[in-house]
């Protein structure tokens, strides 16, 4: 679906500035530019999952837009009105940093269009994604917070050298995102590590960041908290190119007085989120049914109920394989991996087989195996 949009009257009134701004789209080009919006909304690790963006990339390649806007709205660690029905603390910490690094790289490399990050709000690992693009805009009141999460990944090591190894490994990987976005390491250190200060000095348009309080503008002097950016602070410091209220605003600041919006990416992501969440809800009820049927599986109806329970579990297995988000939540909530589900199903199959062979009550059970600890010295 394509929507043709024109900037509002207020926008037109000041649009005259646009043509004189450097880097602004050329008004003499009669073609209306096409913008493709890619939502990144909800929980990292489930709603914002690389699996759906592979499909979005394919679609965007077909559309071949002039501008791609990543609309980021993810605040993992506090309550947000827009996540009211969705702000599930059980989904915290499910994001895998390597997967998002690959996602950011793929979006950069596979899509040729001008790419813009629009942060509507970001608290947590989403902020790494936000900082992976050099051209960033923020909504009024938006936050670019929560990268203390990265250093928390290294918590739990008592030996100072090992703790430092883990911490700096994670922070180094986190800083890879900032480097992709062309941002200096100093910002990453201050945003991920509480003990690092952050200040900036300006020379003309050039901003120099240092991890101390000696700069002209001190962003963070607290050695117990990481540096965070509000939309206004980010704009003042030149991290954000501007503050916008909506797509019209954003497109205007990008120099486009009118544009066509292709909504297929939005639709795909929305459908994906609705689908995986609905599927996960179904899984919960299939599992409750399976448990009930397993409880009833005795006497003459044993095989029938075991078979029915197996069917329910197979549906869950299919769902987990179709949606990595369902698999991740299943593991989180029920402590079962895909493999463990498969083993349980195989156990039931064996049980049914035994019963059919007249070997009822043989007492065999499906077993799950755990992983043992590794040996050897770590490096």
Least Å distance between CB 187 and other proteins? 11
Separation CA 139–CA 67 (nearest Å) = 18
- Please say which residue, 93 or 366, places its beta carbon nearer to other proteins: 366
Separation CA 83–CA 90 (nearest Å) = 14
The answer to whether residue 23 forms part of the interface with other proteins (CB under 8 A) is no
Query: Pick from 185, 302, 303, 355: which binds other proteins (CB under 8 A)?
Result: 185
Task: Give the interface segment with other proteins, choosing from 39-47, 145-153, 175-183, 246-254 (CB under 8 A).
Answer: 175-183
The answer to whether residue 375 forms part of the interface with other proteins (CB under 8 A) is yes
Query: Pick from 77, 93, 96, 176: which binds other proteins (CB under 8 A)?
Result: 176
- Please say which residue, 164 or 221, places its beta carbon nearer to other proteins: 164
Kindly calculate the radius of gyration of the chain based on its CA atoms and give it in whole angstroms.
25
Q: How far is CA 283 from CA 42, 85, 268, in A?
A: 20, 19, 22
- Please say which residue, 79 or 158, places its beta carbon nearer to other proteins: 158
- Residue keyed to tokens 């043709």: 4
Give residues 290-349 in contact with other proteins (rule: CB under 8 A): 339, 342-343, 346-347
Separation CA 219–CA 2 (nearest Å) = 42
Cβ contact 233:219 at 8 Å: yes
Separation CA 226–CA 341 (nearest Å) = 41
Tell me which residue of 24, 19, 133, 156 sits closest to 70, measured CA to CA. 133
Least Å distance between CB 57 and other proteins? 15
Q: Give helix 50-63 / helix 97-110 axis angle, nearest 10°.
A: 0
The answer to whether residue 364 forms part of the interface with other proteins (CB under 8 A) is yes
Alpha helix stretches (DSSP H) within 1-71: 9-13, 15-20, 50-63
Residues 122-161, one symbol each (x = binds other proteins by CB under 8 A, - = not), give: -----------------------------------xxxxx
Q: Tell me the DSSP string of 99-150.
A: HHHHHHHHHHHH--SEEEEEEEEEESTHHHHHTTSSSEEEETT-EEE-THHH
Tell me which residue of 323, 261, 295, 333 sits closest to 60, measured CA to CA. 261
The answer to whether residue 207 forms part of the interface with other proteins (CB under 8 A) is no
Cβ contact 39:73 at 8 Å: yes
Query: Pick from 175, 228, 240, 279: which binds other proteins (CB under 8 A)?
Result: 175
Query: Pick from 29, 109, 224, 299: which binds other proteins (CB under 8 A)?
Result: 109
The answer to whether residue 355 forms part of the interface with other proteins (CB under 8 A) is no
- Please say which residue, 30 or 158, places its beta carbon nearer to other proteins: 158
Least Å distance between CB 334 and other proteins? 17
Give residues 30-69 in contact with other proteins (rule: CB under 8 A): none
Least Å distance between CB 176 and other proteins? 4
* Residue 134: count of CB within 10 angstroms of its CB: 13
Report the relative pairing of strands 229-230 and 243-244 from DSSP bridges. unpaired
Least Å distance between CB 99 and other proteins? 12
- Please say which residue, 37 or 128, places its beta carbon nearer to other proteins: 128
The answer to whether residue 105 forms part of the interface with other proteins (CB under 8 A) is yes
The answer to whether residue 169 forms part of the interface with other proteins (CB under 8 A) is yes
Distance, C-alpha 163 to centroid of its chain: 26
- Please say which residue, 17 or 157, places its beta carbon nearer to other proteins: 157
The answer to whether residue 356 forms part of the interface with other proteins (CB under 8 A) is no
Residue 358 tokens, joined? 């007249």
Cα-Cα-Cα-Cα dihedral sign, residues 157, 159, 162, 164: positive
The answer to whether residue 177 forms part of the interface with other proteins (CB under 8 A) is yes
Q: Which residues bind other proteins (CB under 8 A)?
A: 98, 101, 104-105, 108-109, 157-162, 164-169, 171-173, 175-177, 179-180, 184-185, 339, 342-343, 346-347, 350, 364-369, 371-379
């Amino acid at each position: 679906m394509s929507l043709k949009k024109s900037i509002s009257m207020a926008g037109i009134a000041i649009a005259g500035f646009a043509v004189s701004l450097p880097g602004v789209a050329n008004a003499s080009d009669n073609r209306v530019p096409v913008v493709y919006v890619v939502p990144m909304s909800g929980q990292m690790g489930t709603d914002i999952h690389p699996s759906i963006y592979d499909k979005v990339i394919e679609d965007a390649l077909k559309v071949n837009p002039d501008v791609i806007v990543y609309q980021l709205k993810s605040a993992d660690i506090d309550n947000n009105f827009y996540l009211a029905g969705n702000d599930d603390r059980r989904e915290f910490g499910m994001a895998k940093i390597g997967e998002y690094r690959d996602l950011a790289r793929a979006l950069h490399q596979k899509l040729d269009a001008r790419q813009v990050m629009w942060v509507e709000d970001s608290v947590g690992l989403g902020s790494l994604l936000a900082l992976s693009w050099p051209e960033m805009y923020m909504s009024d009141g938006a936050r670019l917070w929560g990268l203390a999460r990265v250093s928390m990944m290294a918590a739990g090591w008592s030996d100072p050298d090992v703790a430092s190894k883990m911490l700096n490994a994670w922070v180094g990987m986190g800083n890879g995102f900032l480097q992709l976005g062309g941002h200096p390491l100093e910002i990453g250190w201050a945003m991920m590590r509480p003990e690092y200060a952050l200040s900036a000095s300006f020379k003309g348009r050039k901003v120099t960041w240092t991890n101390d309080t000696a700069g002209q503008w001190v962003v963070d002097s607290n050695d117990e908290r990481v540096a965070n950016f509000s939309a206004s602070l980010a704009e003042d410091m030149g991290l954000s190119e501007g503050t916008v209220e909506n797509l019209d605003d954003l497109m205007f600041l990008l120099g486009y007085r009118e544009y066509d919006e292709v909504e297929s990416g939005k639709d795909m992501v929305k459908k994906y989120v609705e689908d995986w969440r609905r599927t996960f809800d179904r899984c919960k009820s299939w599992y409750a049914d399976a448990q009930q049927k397993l409880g009833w599986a005795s006497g003459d109806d044993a095989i029938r109920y075991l078979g029915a329970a197996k069917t329910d579990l197979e549906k869950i297995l299919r769902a987990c394989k179709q949606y990595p988000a369902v698999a991740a939540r299943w593991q989180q909530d029920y402590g079962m991996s895909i493999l463990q589900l498969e083993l349980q199903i195989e156990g039931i199959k064996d049980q049914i087989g035994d019963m059919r062979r007249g070997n009822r009550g043989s007492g065999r059970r499906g077993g799950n195996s755990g992983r043992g600890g590794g040996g050897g010295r770590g490096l």
